[in-house]
Structure 1
């Protein structure tokens, strides 16, 4: 290629395949493997699953609140690096970054409104399913937060919820479906792959966590294909996790129906 020429060759399917595997290997694919190992450890441990606990937001430096805060913020920021990588790869592809996936500020109230509706439906059914699965012995007791009672507790829980939502919906729905389509996967096969991946990295919670999140994954893929935007899914997921994290912090030990470790 001579100086001044523009390299405009579309990436090959092999490049798209390798890129997708690398992105997943750096993010939720690795989380799926970790969750599987954790699940194997739980089912081979003496006692039932419901007698064991899966803690989501735990203290990183007990008794040292400022160091703990630093670790919490570092964890949230570093978890979003794969999202920045996806944005970069989309730009390299000739697209407009995350806007290509419908994750931008062009329709904030539209995204929030639809996300709130989805969260209301999934949140109520999700709690019921979790309690049923735990009662039947298919799920660990999920402890959404175990942070110290300090001033930054609730802001960190909210930021953690936002990080989860952005990471999962951008990669597992928007990015993965785009790349699988470019690799020639059928819409049905891509839907199954996205849903199974979502379920896999929740397997540390037990069979109930796997099935419940896989069903949620199917619903989110169908909504994404209908709306063409990741934004409402990020809003819905954020509201679900904020409700779970903050709700648990406020209600744990105060209501009889909420299991605690």
Structure 2
């Protein structure tokens, strides 16, 4: 007889342990790493804005094919926690579609996501420039890849990876598990938003506060729409704008800070 998943609801301990495992393998660990990085930055001589945080850097300078292999490997392995979430949901007889991560409403998701990206993107740029000017933020370098044919495709894939991973783990899965554990909606929103801020702390206080605020907005919209699709679209578009925009504009416009 083939094995089957149990019909009974997982125990609170199982739900808690699954949540901690997913976070330890993904953005929870990133939050700890970002905190250590932030401590290193604030204890280093000089102001935060005189230091740089580079996001998409070359993994093998001067060796473009090896660099490409490392870039694709990094993107693929970073998405493994999404598969782990899908596995845990399947054990419950559910799927990522339960979280609204599917292709059932592509045009609605695209339209809503583009609108959210436009509003948050314009606000986020202004907030970043202000925070850096006040000395609360490092200079963020969204990309420093070599000028090779795969540069922009990799930046777009990296943006999609960020959007998918963060929304599935920090919004859909985390809120579902905290709801099952009996957390109040307000406490769940705070936990999700603070987690999102924590793994951006390497950028400085501005990066932390800005992403906490974005986390509150994303949780509110998820509760309202019941779908991750628009949030994945919004996050992907925001990161494409940051990565590709920086690649095209860095050193060509006065308002964009560079190291």
TM-score, structure 2 as length reference: 0.98
1:182 equivalent to 2:180? Answer: yes
Report the counterpart of residue 43 of structure 1 in structure 2: 42
Report the counterpart of residue 154 of structure 1 in structure 2: 152
1:11 equivalent to 2:10? Answer: yes
Shift, 1:215, TM fit = 0.0
Report the counterpart of residue 251 of structure 1 in structure 2: 249
Shift, 1:9, TM fit = 2.3
Shift, 1:6, TM fit = 7.4
* In 1, Cα distance between equivalents of 2:170 and 2:3: 38
Shift, 1:10, TM fit = 1.5
| 1:202-244 CA-partner distances (Å, limit 9, x unpaired) | 0000000000000000000000000000000000000000000
Pairwise CA RMSD of aligned residues? 1.3
**3-state SS of paired residue (1:47):** coil
Shift, 1:93, TM fit = 1.0
* In 1, Cα distance between equivalents of 2:4 and 2:149: 56
* In 1, Cα distance between equivalents of 2:3 and 2:26: 37
Report the counterpart of residue 164 of structure 2 in structure 1: 166
| 1:73-97 CA-partner distances (Å, limit 9, x unpaired) | 00000000000110111011111x1
**3-state SS of paired residue (1:256):** coil
**3-state SS of paired residue (2:142):** strand
**3-state SS of paired residue (2:54):** strand
Report the counterpart of residue 29 of structure 1 in structure 2: 28
**3-state SS of paired residue (1:144):** strand
> Taking structure 1 as reference, are residues 5 and 154 closer, same or farther at Cα in structure 2, changes over 3 Å only?
closer
> Taking structure 1 as reference, are residues 99 and 140 closer, same or farther at Cα in structure 2, changes over 3 Å only?
same
Shift, 1:4, TM fit = 8.7
Q: Which runs of 5+ in 1 are unaligned?
A: none
Report the counterpart of residue 52 of structure 1 in structure 2: 51
Q: Which runs of 5+ in 2 are unaligned?
A: none
Q: Across the two proteins, how many residue pairs are aligned to each other?
A: 259
* In 2, Cα distance between equivalents of 1:110 and 1:34: 36
> Taking structure 1 as reference, are residues 194 and 4 closer, same or farther at Cα in structure 2, changes over 3 Å only?
closer
* In 1, Cα distance between equivalents of 2:58 and 2:207: 23
Residue 211 (structure 1) aligned to one of 189, 209, 212:
209
